[in-house]
């Protein structure tokens, strides 16, 4: 895959969003990409009369004043980042629903990647549903890089979780496109869902361990076939299989490896929420300490909400 041509980074002007802007600028410099920064004035409720009176403004004038202040703040960030990385940065401030405008702007500009901070002003670690981040990942149609750490340079060690589906293939290909010089660990988690039932039926630990080894060998063979089908440089990839539950195992492995990026496809199999995002992806987005690249299915087509 080619280098990135266009990147869009969203900002609510929080310190966490600033981490996303820093990563987006670093990537733009690395790939020679164009970079746009977007702030959305998402005012679900009109300002209070006391706020307007205090500034001697009409409601419309007060809203325009807030937008001007946001534009000035974002311009200042853009100037500093452009000078630091030797890139050109476009700045946009719009009124509307934040996740809608982020998705719309990405489509209008043809941005290939959306970069967002993990926290922002309204983030809670244990409640992802309903946040701007979750909605952009779930309703959008292009990869989203979720930034959790202050960038210290390009990505060096990437963990890619795959399940042998086309979604895993796209996640791996996108990760290698995003971080072409990184070390890649490709993990498939072998979920022995029947292990508890075997223990309840009195199957010995030795027999269960033997079953795990057999399953691991079979999944390693399947992982090898999967990697052969991907459009990647196999010499950069270290494949392995681990038994366990996918979400927690991925998060644990990311910490063990010291990964600075985890890449995962976002598709689900059941549940009102999970059918569009995927329970494993939700767990990874919540629980990993490093940045996360969430890659939507290529065939996903959503109308702007």
Taking alpha carbons only, the member of 181, 164, 128, 139 closest to residue 292 is 128
Contact (Cβ atoms closer than 8 angstroms) between residue 143 and residue 114: yes
Query: Phi/psi of residue 249, each to 5°?
Result: -65, -40
On the question of a common fold for 1-152 and 154-305, the answer reads yes
Q: How far is it, in rounded angstroms, from Cα 41 to Cα 65?
A: 11
As a whole number, mean pLDDT of residues 198-218 equals 83
Q: How far is it, in rounded angstroms, from Cα 220 to Cα 68?
A: 56
Copy the structure tokens of residue 24: 């987006």
pTM for this predicted structure: 0.85
pLDDT at 159: 98
Residue the block writes with tokens 């063990």:
256
pLDDT at 131: 83
- Residues 6+ positions from 268 with CB-CB distance below 8 Å: 274, 275, 276, 277, 278, 279, 281
Q: Return the percent helix, strand and coil in the chain, to nearest 5.
A: 45, 20, 35
Asked if the 154-305 domain carries CATH number 3.40.50.620, the reply is: yes
More confident residue, 55 or 27: 27
pLDDT(271) > 50: no
Structural domain spans, the chain? 1-152, 154-305
Mean pLDDT of the residues in the chain: 84
Q: How many C-beta atoms lie closer than 10 Å to residue 156's C-beta? A: 14
CATH topology of domain 1-152: Rossmann fold (3.40.50)
Contact (Cβ atoms closer than 8 angstroms) between residue 27 and residue 33: yes
Tens of pLDDT, residue by residue over 122-144, are 444 444 656 888 889 888 889 99
pLDDT(304) > 70: no
182-186, 246-250, 264-268 — most confident range: 182-186
pLDDT at 275: 37
pLDDT(43) > 70: no
More confident residue, 37 or 233: 37
pLDDT at 210: 84
pLDDT(243) > 90: no
pLDDT(296) > 50: yes
| E-state strands within the chain | 6-10, 34-41, 89-95, 113-117, 144-147, 157-161, 183-190, 237-243, 261-265, 291-295
């Amino acid at each position: 895959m080619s280098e990135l041509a266009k990147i869009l980074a969203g900002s609510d002007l929080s310190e966490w969003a600033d981490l996303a802007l820093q990563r987006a600028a670093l990537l733009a410099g690395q790939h020679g990409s164009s970079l746009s920064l977007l702030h959305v004035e998402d005012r679900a409720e009109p300002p209070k009369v006391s706020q307007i009176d205090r500034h001697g403004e009409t409601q419309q004038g007060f809203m325009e004043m807030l937008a001007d202040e946001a534009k000035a703040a974002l311009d200042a960030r853009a100037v500093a980042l452009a000078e630091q990385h030797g890139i050109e940065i476009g700045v946009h401030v719009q009124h509307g629903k934040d996740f809608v405008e982020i998705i719309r702007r990405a489509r209008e500009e043809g941005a290939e990647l959306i970069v967002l901070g993990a926290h922002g002003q309204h983030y809670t670690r244990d409640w992802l549903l309903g946040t701007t981040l979750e909605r952009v990942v779930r309703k959008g149609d292009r990869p989203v890089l979720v930034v959790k750490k202050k960038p210290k340079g390009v990505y060096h060690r990437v963990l890619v979780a795959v399940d042998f589906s086309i979604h895993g293939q796209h996640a791996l290909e996108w990760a290698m496109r995003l971080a072409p010089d990184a070390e890649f660990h490709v993990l498939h988690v072998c979920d022995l869902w029947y292990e508890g039932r075997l223990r309840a039926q009195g199957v010995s630990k030795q027999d269960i361990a033997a079953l795990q080894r057999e399953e691991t060998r079979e999944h390693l063979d399947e992982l090898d076939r999967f990697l052969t089908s991907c459009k990647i440089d196999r010499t950069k990839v270290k494949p392995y299989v681990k038994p366990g539950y996918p979400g927690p195992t991925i998060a644990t492995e990311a910490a063990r490896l010291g990964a600075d990026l985890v890449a995962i496809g976002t598709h689900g199999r059941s549940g009102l929420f999970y059918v569009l995002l995927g329970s494993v992806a939700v767990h990874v987005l919540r629980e990993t300490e490093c940045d996360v690249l969430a890659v939507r299915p290529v065939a996903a087509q959503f109308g702007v909400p």
